[in-house]
Amino acid sequence: MTGKKFILGGAAGLAVVTALSVWAITASPIPVRTTVLLTGVAQRPLTQRPTIDVVPLSGGTLVNLAMGRRIGATNFPEQVLALTVACDLTTANLVIFDQSVSNTIATVATNVSFDFVQSQILNPVSAPALGSTNALVRFVARLQILPSGSSSNALLGGVLTVAGRAHRDTGTGCLAPVPVRLDFDQYDPTLLDKIVPNGKDKVLAANTARTGLAHVVGVLDIVADYLTNTVLIPAGNINIRRSAEIIK
């Protein structure tokens, strides 16, 4: 991008932390909620000396920008960010899912590639409980951000790489949640997959089951209140949670 302008208000930047939802596609799509925290960094060009701001972001931030709303808007809690993953694990797309109508209303990012490796559950605690119908998948999904939003607030472009692990039902091939106490892997710390505290999820729900953990890096070109900037995302964490209740 050229002609970037400062969009971050004050040293604290965008203090927005809300929920992001990830949905794993099956023959009948199953909604799987997540909790997400992204840490971005952005240039602050309005000062005489170059300054880098640390920018906390969330799925709610991306939803608001993609829908053309201010980043802190809270009047559409039923609209959640979602990652649709095909059961054969060949594609993934980032979308906005409206829980009030049980339907996708916008596409945020399209699939560039989805690569994975898979093994049987080897953890001595979870393996006996989950049985042979469950496999552990580690994946890397590359996503291209599509232009969306309005002239005042928008996503202009960018790329996101989501890497992590998830449980997979070997019968259907689809991603599937398991009890939280069984959702862990000895390589999580080494591979940077962390648990996001429940308190960071503004939509309260019992976290009794989880599909997996993932982390994110990438770049976002955004417009906020008519001003543009590029936000680098060197670190972010996702908790892929259990099936979500549909809001009626």
Give the mean model confidence (pLDDT) for residues 177-181: 84
**Smallest Cα–Cα separation from 8: which of 230, 244, 247?**
230
Q: Is 14 helix (H, G, I), strand (E, B) or coil?
A: coil
Using the predicted structure, report yes or no on whether residue 204 has a pLDDT greater than 50: no
Which among 136-150, 205-219, 232-246 has the top mean pLDDT? 136-150
User: What tens digit of pLDDT does each residue of 105-133 get?
Assistant: 899 999 999 999 998 776 666 666 666 66
User: Could you tell me the pTM of the whole model?
Assistant: 0.79
Tokens of 208: 């009794």
d(CA 229, CA 226): 10
Mean pLDDT of the chain: 77
* Beta strand residue intervals within 61-153, DSSP E: 79-85, 92-98, 103-120, 134-145, 148-149
Buried b (16+ CB within 10 A) or exposed e, 202-218: ebeeeeebbbbbbbbbb
Strands 79-85 and 92-98, by their bridges, are antiparallel
Res. 44: pLDDT tops 70 = yes
Tell how strand 148-149 and strand 134-145 pair up. Answer: unpaired
Local confidence band at 238 (pLDDT 50, 70, 90 cut-offs): confident
